[in-house]
Chain A
């Protein structure tokens, strides 16, 4: 109950400072209903969410809670059926056409007929950048994800973790201020996932981007985020928004601290109260 109250408080504070120039994503009363043969499915219901520049926001919740759908709405891959959303102050479609964000999918989705460097170059070719600029950005972003030396390899010659890193480099090559990540490490084993989480935090600190991150892992969400959004299903809605007070500069050891466990506990309580554990 306390959790809910404090979540309400933060909402209150935010609405009073709504004219902030650093607001990256602004969602009000947003709903999305899919019409299916078995009747309407309320994927998202009455979502209100503000994301500020430099935030690392995680969406967490069980399958079917609409966390991926919400991310896809931000990316203009789904259209909301009601409510208002702006990304960088414009509609998601305009933001997409401006290439305002980089999107990392659940799978690496690298093109097997392209080398890693050519895969990273894919968005750059579509944007019509010069060859020199492309080379420069490929080198820079491959270095950011520690893949220098693998430019000439094909995706199928790399491990799953390296493939996903290459797909992050591809998203970064667009040089967006906003990075949308949909369970990017969901298919990887825990050791690789820990390692990539740490690298992602370093990357975030280095580039100072805004990150929206979808996950169903509580430790991952708490470890990475400055703000955790707990969603629950049927209908998909926001149950709790937790502002993390952990320091921005973290290492994996932080997961043993009481502060960390406290936040993790609150996330778990939120998921439980939202009937997420019910079958």
Chain B
């Protein structure tokens, strides 16, 4: 009957990180930071900053400033350390040695520690809690960018392989008109038109399939077949059919988005249970009333699933389709030509724009979903 179990030793991540920061700072201070010659003024600044960082990190273990202020100081020192590292390595591109990598590791670990502390914070005010919830992924992203910058510059990675974020940023800000034109051509024309027509027509066909049973057996397999077509094969054909400009890209997007929307809407329309349909029957409700008042609301979680999947599929489809013939504008066109000209930073700038546009598009659809399916247990976080 013994219910005694040995107390489980959980890994104390924050303590581990804090002591790792201390160790890395010690290594960094006693080994050369940069290769042949290092700027004599860099070392004291870095050293001072990183010692504070180590103390800020390890303060929980030493038993002082275990509070919000301490956490904020840790974040601030981490930011200063990261900035100092970036500023100094810019003058020593490709000359980083053991000391520099140790200090980079210390900064990374303390950023991680800061996020760990951030994740524990609870605030009574919902706005403050919202800011904290947003800050965590933001900190994570910034940490990744800083690491990317430090490693690429410190190790002197060739620009063609991987440009540093700063270089991509410079390229991005210097070519806003080009990027905007490409964005207009690919996103505002091809993606949006294709997405709306593809999802809209799939929705209408789903209602038809639901209304006419023989279409279910006839159309669904064909839809399945179309969705299995490789985009690489379809895109050139669409270019031949609809010309070089954006309508051919919109056609590719329609083909890509049609099937997910169709299948999800059809299964969503079947999601209402027998009792709910019987209920409508006892009210002598007709087909359209039942559709509008019961089956469509019930199908909304499914439909929004398709809309979210399609928001990213559409962008991929339009960009890839531009590889097969396009006027001299468009995100896919730019990527394929700039790769050929070894202008990899421009490719990355386009990728950044595509990632931003795709995330925003997805985010807007997800927000709409929350508003429409507020009642669904997965959204309101309750029991069924």
Contact = CB atoms under 8 A, between A and B. Distances in A.
B and A form one assembly: yes
Interface string B276-311: 101111111100010001100100000000000000
A156 B284 contact: no
A118 B375 CA distance: 14
B285 A126 contact: yes
B383 A105 contact: no
A103 B282 contact: yes
A53 to B, nearest CB: 20
Contacts of A103: 278-279, 282
Nearest to A171: B282
Nearest to B289: A126
B283 A99 contact: yes
Interface string A187-207: 000000000000000000000
B216 interface: no
Nearest to B374: A113
Contact of B382 (A76, A98, A109, A156): A156
B282 A75 contact: yes
A135 interface: no
Given A109-B275, A112-B376, A126-B289, A96 B281 contact: yes
Given A103-B279, A107-B275, A96 B284 contact: yes
A24 to B, nearest CB: 16
A190 B285 CA distance: 35
Given A111-B294, A112-B375, A101 B289 contact: no
Given A75-B282, A101-B282, A126 B276 contact: no
B211 interface: no
B293 A122 contact: yes
A19 to B, nearest CB: 29
Nearest to B279: A109
A126 B283 contact: yes
Given A111-B297, A156-B375, A156-B380, A77 B278 contact: yes
Interface string A102-143: 110111010111000000001101110000000000000000
A156 B383 contact: yes
Interface in B330-384: 373-377, 380, 382-383
Nearest to B380: A156
Interface string A164-208: 000000000010000000000000000000000000000000000
A150 interface: no
Contacts of A98: 284
Nearest to B382: A156
B281 A77 contact: yes
B279 A105 contact: yes
B59 to A, nearest CB: 45
Given A111-B294, A111-B297, A123 B383 contact: no
A154 to B, nearest CB: 7
A97 interface: yes
Contacts of A122: 283, 293
A125 B276 CA distance: 16
A99 B284 contact: yes
B283 A123 contact: yes
Given A97-B284, A126-B284, A113 B297 contact: yes
Given A112-B375, A122-B283, A105 B293 contact: no
Nearest to A106: B275
Given A122-B293, A156-B380, A113 B284 contact: no
Contacts of B285: 126
A75 B281 CA distance: 9
Interface in A66-83: 75-77
A111 B280 CA distance: 11
Contacts of B278: 77, 103, 105
A44 B297 CA distance: 36
A105 to B, nearest CB: 5
A112 B283 CA distance: 18
A191 B86 CA distance: 70
A109 B374 CA distance: 18
B293 A125 contact: yes
B276 A109 contact: yes
A109 B275 CA distance: 7
Contacts of A127: 283
B199 to A, nearest CB: 21
Contacts of B293: 111, 122, 125-126
Nearest to A75: B282
A71 B282 CA distance: 12
B288 to A, nearest CB: 11
Given A113-B375, A156-B383, A96 B282 contact: yes
Contacts of A125: 293
A174 B283 contact: yes
A95 to B, nearest CB: 10
Contacts of A123: 283
28 contacts: A75-B282, A77-B278, A77-B282, A96-B282, A96-B284, A97-B284, A102-B282, A103-B278, A103-B282, A105-B278, A107-B275, A109-B276, A109-B279, A111-B294, A112-B375, A112-B376, A113-B297, A113-B374, A122-B293, A125-B293, A126-B280, A126-B284, A126-B285, A126-B293, A154-B375, A156-B375, A156-B382, A156-B383
Given A102-B282, A154-B375, A156-B383, 9 more contacts: A75-B282, A106-B275, A109-B276, A109-B279, A112-B375, A112-B376, A126-B280, A127-B283, A156-B377
The 4 closest A-B pairs by CB, nearest first: A112-B375, A113-B375, A103-B282, A123-B283
